Amino acid sequence: MRLFVAGGTGALGSRVVRLLAEGGNEVTATARTDAGAQQIRAVGATPVDIDLLDVAALRTAIRGSDVVFRLTTKIPPLMQMRKTEAWAETGRLRVEGTRALNRACSDEHVGTCIHESITFVYEDGGDNWLDEDSPVSDAGAAPLRDALEAEAEAQKFTGADARAVILRFAAFYAADSSQSLEMADRARRRRLALIGPSRNWFSSIHLDDAAHATVAALRAPAGIYNVSDDDPVQLATFMTSMARAASGRGLPKLPSIAGGAALGVAWRYLQRSQRVSSARMQRLTGWTPTVRNAREGWVRIANEWGHVTKSKG
C-alpha cells in the first residue's frame, strides 16, 4: 500500500513509520528538520517537508496514497501544560490540520484517514469502565475542546467511499518519550509531587503498543476506538511507578488544593477517574497490548534506563 503519515517524527509517528515501512509498504512521512528527514530515510520511508495547513501542498504530498495518518501534535513541556496558550499549536494541528487534511484527502480520493485523539475527553467514570459510548466533556480545558472538535471534523470524512478511523489514545509513556524523560528528571531532583490522594483511575498505553494499534487500525471499520492497556491503575500508582523507575524512590506529596496552582488547565481533567477499555479495538482488529499495565511498563523502562526496581501495587 501507499501510505502517508503526517507527524512522522513524533514519539508515536516515528514508531508507526518504521512499522509501516517494515511491512513492505511505500511510506511518505512529514519531517520538519534535516535530522527528522534523515531519521525517516533510515527506516526506508520518504520524507517530505510541507505546511500541514496548506491544502494544495497536502494534495501534492498525499497524491496516490491509499491511507493517510494524522499523528500531528506538539505537546508542551510538562511545566508549561498549566497554561492554556501552551496548547495553541497542538489545537491548530488538531482542528485546522484535520480540516485541511480531510479536504485534501477528499480531493485526492484517499479511501481511509486515521486520526489521533485522546481518552482524556471522557467524563469522570468513577470505578466504571469507559467505552467509546461513554459521555465526553471538554471540562472547559482547551486541549480537550480542541480534541473533540477535531474528532467531529474527522468524522465528516466518512462516506460511501471513505472512512475515518479515530483513535483515542490513553496517556503515552516510554523510555525515549520526552515527557517520560522530563518527568523522570524532575522526580530525581524532587521537583515533582503527588497531588492529593490521586486515587482516580488513570489509563495509559506504552508507546510501542500504541504504534502497533495504529497500524492495526488499517483493519478497523470507520468509527472511534480507545487505545489503552488492559489494566488501568490509579494515578498515584502510575506516578509512583514512574518515580521508582527514575530514582528508586517515591514522590513528595502536596495537598489537593495545590493542584490548580501547580497544573493549571491540566488539573481540570487529571482529576477525572478514567478506567478506559480498549475491548472494541481488540475485538475488531485483533490488536492486543503487550504491556498489561503501567506498573509492568515502568519496570521495563527502568531496565532500559539502567535502574533496577521492583514492581509494587
The pLDDT of residue 259: 83
CA dihedral of residues 71, 23, 30, 175 (deg, nearest 10):
60
Mean pLDDT of 59-64: 97
pLDDT at 286 over 70: yes
Asked if 233 contacts 296 with a C-beta cutoff of 8 angstroms, the reply is no
Write the single-letter amino acid at 294.
A
3-state secondary structure 162-218: EEEEEEEECEEECCCCHHHHHHHHHHHCCCCCEECCCCCEECEEEHHHHHHHHHHHH
Query: Is the predicted pLDDT of residue 306 greater than 90, yes or no?
Result: no
Report the distance separating Cα 300 and Cα 308, nearest Å: 9
All residues at 6 or more sequence positions from 53 whose CB lies less than 8 Å from its CB, including other chains: 92, 96, 97, 100
pLDDT of residue 311: 38
Contact call for residues 169 and 6 (beta carbons, < 8 A): no
> What integer pLDDT is reported at residue 137 of this predicted model?
95
Q: Hey, what domains does the chain have and what are their CATH numbers? A: 2-305 (3.40.50.720)
Q: What is the pLDDT of residue 78?
A: 67
Which letter does DSSP use for residue 160 in this model? T
Nearest to 285 by CA among 224, 213, 198, 223: 213
Instruction: Look up residue 159 and give its DSSP letter.
Output: B
The end-to-end CA distance of the chain, in Å, is: 44
For residues 57-78, average pLDDT: 90
What's the rounded mean pLDDT across residues 53-58? 96
**Average pLDDT rounded to a whole number, residues 245-271:** 86
Region 263-269: mean pLDDT is 78
3-state secondary structure of 6: strand
Give pLDDT tens digits for 176-229: 999 999 999 999 999 999 999 999 999 999 999 999 999 999 999 999 999 999
Q: 76: pLDDT confidence band, cut at 50, 70 and 90?
A: low
User: Cα separation of 244 and 286, whole Å?
Assistant: 33
pLDDT in tens, 291-305: 999 999 999 999 999
Q: What's the pLDDT at 313?
A: 33
The proportion of the chain whose per-residue pLDDT surpasses 90, expressed as a percent, equals: 83
Q: Which amino acid is it at 116? A: E
Q: Quickly state the pLDDT bin for 89 (edges 50, 70, 90).
A: confident
The predicted structure's pLDDT at residue 27: 98
Can you give the pLDDT at residue 307? Answer: 60
pLDDT digits (tens, 9 = 90+) for 98-141: 999 999 999 999 999 999 999 999 999 999 999 999 999 998 88
Q: Grade residue 81 by pLDDT with cuts at 50, 70 and 90.
A: low
Task: Tell me what the mean pLDDT of segment 274-295 comes to.
Answer: 98
The per-residue pLDDT for range 18-38, each reduced to its tens digit, is: 999 999 999 999 999 999 999
pLDDT for the residue 40:
97
Average pLDDT, the chain: 93
The DSSP bridge pattern shows strands 2-6 and 112-118 to be unpaired
For 152-166, the pLDDT digits (tens) are: 999 999 998 999 999
| Residue-level pLDDT at 79 | 67
Note the pTM of the prediction, 2 decimals. Answer: 0.94
Percent of the chain with pLDDT over 70: 96
